[in-house]
Structure formats: structure tokens, C-alpha cells
Amino acid sequence: MFTIEQLVVQDIMEIDDLSLKANVISIEGQSGSGKSTLLRLLNNLDDPSSGVIRFHHQALVDIPPLELRKRVVMLPQSSVIFDGTIRDNLLVGLKLSNQPLASDVVLEEMLHTLWIEKNLDTSASDLSGGEQQRMSLGRLLLMEESEVFLLDEPSSDLDDQTTNHVLDQFMKQTKNAGQQVIMVTHDKEVSNKYADEVINMDTYSKQIHHGGEANGR
């Protein structure tokens, strides 16, 4: 779905030509290699120094931001929690992207699927870190009109058993809906289990190639 041409991000990465077409893509690499930066570029949250990123052959800069954020949705590593209830937080993605709202029955089924045994009226701030991360994944799954999900360390707050269950459900639903998943993960087991293609950012990292100190991810 994405193609990258002659992309340069100063002091971080340099990509001559790269296509991101597989259903599930895992982005790996050393600290500072530009993994999270690449996700932000794909969502047009950061600007490259030069080069172009296309989505379905259209340059990202030519796609209106609201349209792009509806079609391409990013989940940052730190869960974004809004004031209000679990219901409010599950529905916020649909509201912001002008998609039809889900019923309470659907929302309750989502909580059950993600092993969150809480009432929809529970304050989202009362959830544990792992529950908040699962709720954030559920927020994405409700966005059935979206085409791509960008996940930054989607299992960082989950234990192994919960990771297997939740990502099994997530990948199953996105595959059935024909949605693409591009994820950054340090978990080799997650990458090996789910990814159709693995991209190692060390290949494109200017920091590593030039011997610079790697800061960030």
C-alpha cells in the first residue's frame, strides 16, 4: 500500500526504494535506527528532509490530513487515554474519523474479546496499563473503514499469555477485514508469529552506518 522513494530524514535514515505491501509487516532494528520515526512518517506526523511517501500511488502530502488519519490509524507505544469512560474511549476513534458508532452490545463483545472484565461506564483512568493498551487496540478494531493500522510496540504492557490471545484476535479480525498492519516490536516471538514480512531498519539507518550515537528508537 505504501511506497517510499528517495527518502531522507536528516541524521536518522535514508531509504532509496521500499514497498510496504504485505498484510502484516514487522519493523525491527537497533535503538536509534528510526523504527518509530518511520511509523510517524507513514501517518504524515513527521516530515522527511527529502523524498516522497505514497499511499495507493498518491503522495501523502496530497492527502487531506483528516482523510489520511481515517484511512491510516496509528497506535503509539504509550496508550492515549481520554477523559471519560471505557465507552467514551472505545468510541473516540470512530467519532474523530466520522465512522458509524458501535452499539453497547458490540463494545461489550470487544471488551470480552480483549479480556477486559470491566463495565463500559468504568472510568478509563481506573484501568491498568495493560488494560489501557488492550482498550486502545480495541478502539482500532472498531474502525472498520480504516485500511492500515500502525502499531508501536503493541504488546509492551502485556504478559505472554495475554499477548498471544489479544494479538491472535487482532490479527484475525484485521486479516478478515483486509486491513494492513505495520508494527514496530522488540518481541521476536511476536514478529515471527504474525509478520508476513520483516523490515530491518538497520539497513537504512544513517546513525548506525555513520557510527553516530543512537538516541531514541
What single letter denotes the amino acid at residue 194?
Answer: Y
Q: pLDDT per residue over 9-44, tens digit each?
A: 999 999 999 999 999 999 999 988 999 999 999 999
Read off the DSSP letter of residue 212.
Answer: P
Q: Is residue 21 part of a domain?
A: yes
Model-level pTM?
0.92
Q: Is residue 165 part of a domain?
A: yes
Q: Is residue 125 part of a domain?
A: yes
Given a cut of 50, whether residue 101 has pLDDT beyond it is yes
Measured CA to CA, the distance from residue 123 to residue 37 in angstroms comes to 32
Q: Is residue 216 part of a domain?
A: no
Query: How many other C-beta atoms can be found within 10 angstroms of the C-beta atom of residue 40?
Result: 17
User: Residues for the chain: how many in total?
Assistant: 217
Angle at 141 between CA 140 and CA 142, to 5 degrees: 90
Side-by-side strand order, sheet with 148-152: 72-75, 148-152, 180-184, 24-28, 197-200
**How confident is residue 208, by pLDDT bands cut at 50, 70 and 90?**
low
Q: Is residue 215 part of a domain?
A: no
Q: Residues 6 or more apart from 147 whose CB is under 8 A from it?
A: 1, 71, 72, 179, 180
Q: Is residue 72 part of a domain?
A: yes
Q: Is residue 74 part of a domain?
A: yes
Measured CA to CA, the distance from residue 92 to residue 90 in angstroms comes to 6
Range of the domain at 182: 2-209
Q: Is residue 214 part of a domain?
A: no
Q: pLDDT per residue over 36-94, tens digit each?
A: 999 999 999 999 999 999 999 999 999 999 899 999 999 998 889 999 999 999 999 99
- pLDDT score of 206: 84
**How confident is residue 214, by pLDDT bands cut at 50, 70 and 90?**
very low
CATH assignment of the domain containing 88: 3.40.50.300
